[in-house]
Structure 1
Amino acid sequence: MTIADTAAELRRLHTAPELLQVVNVWDVASAKAVAALPGTRAIATASHSIAATFGYPDGEHIPAELMLDMAGRIARAVDVPVSADLEAGYGDPGETIRRAIGLGVVGANLEDQLKPLADSVAAVEAAVAAADAEGVPFALNARTDAFLRGGDRPRDVRIADAIDRGRAYIEAGATCVFVPGDFGEDVVAELVDGIGELRISLIGLPRLPPPARLQELGVARLSYGPTTQRVALGALQDLARGLYAGGVLPGGIRPLA
């Protein structure tokens, strides 16, 4: 299968009626563990988790080379399409997408950080143009921070901003619009109605409806961000705490790596 074929499959998964769930990973070991599951159809990296792996805080503090290198290692290690969280593009969204494609990545998150709309649309256009130039039907998950960085703005204002930005990103060639935020079904329904069915990508947070309901509402994609790494590291801490207290290793440990 060519990289164009893999990219086309990831695009198809975003537009299929069935909700695309992607469990975020941060290194080759975690990617292989998730890819081995029968329910895995695609994998997404988590930028926060990869940055933490290398000792960097979230927010483009990690060198782009390190982030891209890990995304490429993950893409080469698994047989399913890989979408990489590339933050805001590290100063050059088009070049960053081009480099990611060269490493086998066929989709990406690109966040707007609530920059002026014209600048954010230009970033999406640059990313889409770079993928087109490579001949790859790249799955661009254009993220708007209308909720995460919305501050004290009223709920309706944040929804309207997310919809305006989302429509603009779709018009600029994005596959779907990622709207992270801890909100309920009413907001999800308004976002789908405003941006379009199978055009919304969300992150699993406490107030969000379960996956089956999100599928009924017309959501395209659900991911989990850095939570997966936190769960894994929490389990490691719990194990270490038990061992320090005189415990022993549990039985039935699976050899995943």
Structure 2
Amino acid sequence: MSVDTFRALHHGRATGDPLILPGPWDVASARVFVDAGFPALATPSMAISASLGYPDGQGTPPTEMFAAIARIAHAVDVPVSADVEAGYGLPPAELVERVLDAGAVGVNLEDSDPATSELVEPKRQADYLAAVRAAAGDDLFVNARIDTYLRGATSPEAAIDRGKHYAAAGADAVYPIFAPPEQLRPLADGIGLPVNAAARPDGPSPRELGRLGATRITFGGGLHLRTLAALKSVAGQLTA
């Protein structure tokens, strides 16, 4: 599927009708989501890492992560965006090449330094995103994750500042992870790009997040964890 199809899914959406992107961790889960009617998917690094036996946060060798993404992308007929954490230390051109070779049309890139768990200076991250955009042209949808809330900031100003840098660098959307739902609209208005919000079991529904200002909804590793919880329940019944 083309990046144009995926990009178009983010625009012209009615309030309360966000793009809902389930996160498959293997081919079987991807096919379940496609059969349920979802128009696109977004792989979560946490769930793929867990399914491969690695810890989250750059613990999975890039070769294995890209191979998993490729298996998913080549098994379904809808666009797939790939969470590649902070880029695995790859030069932008190589990162773009590997993402596109895997069959993904979008990429999620975070702005925390995996070595220190600290925020990357916003201009340096913007320069990296600009280099990714230059290497990809229009062939890749770039979702720029903003980790200010994850790192302790509680007001939208810091996220908006970073988001403006990333928008100027060519990002298609921003993902202020763990932003309070009531701040989604100010973030979207302040940055001027579609905002990705994460749906959580104890939080607002995906449609409510859409009404609050999110354009697209992802789940991180949440769907994988819920699946494992269900499997644990099944396992407990096997010897009953």
| Residue correspondences, number | 230
Deviation at 1:160, TM superposition (A): 1.0
Q: In 1, Cα distance between the equivalents of 2:228 and 2:120?
A: 33
Q: In 1, Cα distance between the equivalents of 2:229 and 2:179?
A: 22
Q: In 1, Cα distance between the equivalents of 2:148 and 2:160?
A: 9
Deviation at 1:149, TM superposition (A): 1.7
Q: In 1, Cα distance between the equivalents of 2:76 and 2:233?
A: 29
Q: Report the secondary structure of 1:199's partner residue.
A: coil
- From 124, 128, 134, the equivalent of 2:133 is 128
**Taking structure 1 as reference, are residues 190 and 182 closer, same or farther at Cα in structure 2, changes over 3 Å only?**
closer
> Does residue 1:26 correspond to 2:51, yes or no?
no
Deviation at 1:125, TM superposition (A): 1.1
Q: In 2, Cα distance between the equivalents of 1:237 and 1:29?
A: 18
5+ residue gaps, structure 2, are 113-118
Q: Any residues of structure 2 matched to 1:87-98 within 5 Å, and which?
A: 87-92=85-90, 94=92, 95-98=94-97
Could you tell me which residue of structure 1 aligns to residue 181 of structure 2?
A: 184
- From 30, 37, 45, the equivalent of 2:43 is 45
Deviation at 1:51, TM superposition (A): 0.8
Deviation at 1:61, TM superposition (A): 1.3
The root-mean-square deviation of aligned C-alpha atoms, in Å, is 1.6
Deviation at 1:182, TM superposition (A): 5.6
Could you tell me which residue of structure 2 aligns to residue 224 of structure 1?
A: 219
Q: In 2, Cα distance between the equivalents of 1:126 and 1:20?
A: 27
Query: Which stretch of structure 1 is more off in the superposition, 198-207 or 222-231?
Result: 198-207
Q: Any residues of structure 2 matched to 1:1-257 within 5 Å, and which?
A: 6-17=2-13, 18-38=17-37, 40-92=38-90, 94=92, 95-113=94-112, 114-132=119-137, 136-150=138-152, 153=153, 155-156=154-155, 159-181=156-178, 183-185=180-182, 187-196=183-192, 199-205=194-200, 208-245=203-240
- Do the aligned residues in 1 keep the contact of 2:197 with 2:209 (CA within 8 Å)? no
Deviation at 1:206, TM superposition (A): 5.1
Amino acid in structure 2 at the alignment position of 1:129: A
Q: TM-score with structure 2 length normalisation?
A: 0.90
Q: Report the secondary structure of 2:238's partner residue.
A: helix
The structure 1 segments of at least 4 consecutive aligned residues displaced by more than 4 Å after TM superposition are none
Deviation at 1:62, TM superposition (A): 0.8
Q: In 2, Cα distance between the equivalents of 1:53 and 1:216?
A: 33
Deviation at 1:57, TM superposition (A): 0.6
5+ residue gaps, structure 1, are 246-257
Deviation at 1:138, TM superposition (A): 1.3
Query: Which stretch of structure 1 is more off in the superposition, 231-240 or 175-184?
Result: 175-184
Q: In 2, Cα distance between the equivalents of 1:109 and 1:34?
A: 20
Percent identity of equivalent pairs: 40
Q: TM-score with structure 1 length normalisation?
A: 0.85
Bigger Rg, structure 1 or 2: 1
Q: In 2, Cα distance between the equivalents of 1:206 and 1:24?
A: 15
Q: In 2, Cα distance between the equivalents of 1:240 and 1:206?
A: 22
Q: In 1, Cα distance between the equivalents of 2:173 and 2:21?
A: 14
- Do the aligned residues in 2 keep the contact of 1:181 with 1:203 (CA within 8 Å)? yes
